[in-house]
Amino acid sequence: MAKVMAIGEVMVEFARGADGRYGLAIGGDTFNTAVYLARAGVETGYATAIGDDAFSDRIFAAASGEGIETTAMLRVAGRMPGLYVIETDGRGERSFNYWRDTSPARDLFELPGWETVAEALVEASMIYLSGITLSLYSNVGLGRLLATLEFARERGARIVFDGNFRPRGWGGDVGRARAVYAEALKRSSIALPTYDDEATLWGDGSPAATAERIATFGVNEIVVKNGASGALVRAAGVSHLVPIPEPVEPIDTTAAGDSFNAAYLAARLGDVSPEAAAEAGHELAGRVIRHRGAIIPRQANA
């Protein structure tokens, strides 16, 4: 299958278990997708920066253990990764608290060695990133990332963008977020947004409105995820609603969208139709939300 490079941040994760105690794991939106892509047999690499502490060692080992290529994971002396805590309510809906302002991932495209990261991205046939990815970087870092994406696209790579809007990551600057998202969408072949996020950022009145707006940027394959209401797939100008196969009582909705994206892309790389790929996305997401945390045990992923 084609080589996929994902870009973003891996953090230390604390999630409350059924007994009320917190368990330690790792996660991050694009990293979660990279893990599920690798488990699907897709050759996958990850671009980020981590520290040289024990937690960073654990992140590096976990990526390697999942079969993710780590040559674009820079190590920075004296730095530590970010941390987040997941809280879930009685319906399994999650909320997050972050400690990540000094994470080395934020400096990825300004660190010594960033050119090596850019080269790895340009060599990929698919590049995957999210709105959270974009929120990490300064204007200098964003400029280098966007230029790299443009060059990769000119060489035939498909750019995949999941909006994944988190207002806190943008410091409440909606105008900057919209401007940066627009630049990412101009370079994208596939968009995998979540409707609630798009409504928050852009004020879209429906998933169809989200798909129409994104199509104006020249994106020709769009999947608008909408939770229990299914997913709206728009490809070649034609839209289809793909419902979830069956209702699921979630335990924890963390990484529902991330896992959907992985199954969708794995299916598309296997030349499956967009509609059937969305069905595969629903199936994996339905399994993931029956477990706590972002990355479920490998045996549950089978």
Average pLDDT over residues 186-195: 98
Closest CA to 191 of 261, 267, 241: 261
Average pLDDT over residues 200-210: 98
Average pLDDT over residues 213-233: 97
Assigned architecture for domain 4-301:
3-Layer(aba) Sandwich (3.40)
Q: What are phi and psi of 8, to 5 degrees?
A: 165, -140
| Residue labelled with tokens 């990769």 | 152
Across the chain, mean pLDDT equals: 94
Render pLDDT for 102-138 as a digit per residue (tens, 0 to 9).
999 999 999 999 999 999 999 999 999 999 999 999 9
Render pLDDT for 232-257 as a digit per residue (tens, 0 to 9).
999 999 999 999 998 888 888 888 99
pLDDT at position 98, please?
86
| Residue labelled with tokens 């040559």 | 71
Render pLDDT for 88-100 as a digit per residue (tens, 0 to 9).
776 666 677 889 9
Domain boundaries, the chain: 4-301
Residue 268: pLDDT above 50?
Answer: yes
| Residue labelled with tokens 């909705």 | 253
Q: Which of 173, 252, 258, 271 is the catalytic position?
A: 258
Residue 35: pLDDT above 90?
Answer: yes
> DSSP characters for 218-276?
T--EEEEE-GGG-EEEEETTEEEEE--SS----S--TTHHHHHHHHHHHHHHTT--HHH
CB 25 within 8 A of CB 62: no
| Residue labelled with tokens 């994470």 | 103
pLDDT at position 302, please?
65
Residue 204 appears among annotated catalytic residues: no
pLDDT at position 239, please?
97
**Confidence bin at 1 (pLDDT 50/70/90):** very low
**Confidence bin at 139 (pLDDT 50/70/90):** very high
- For residue 211 the two structure tokens come to 């798909």
pTM of the model: 0.94
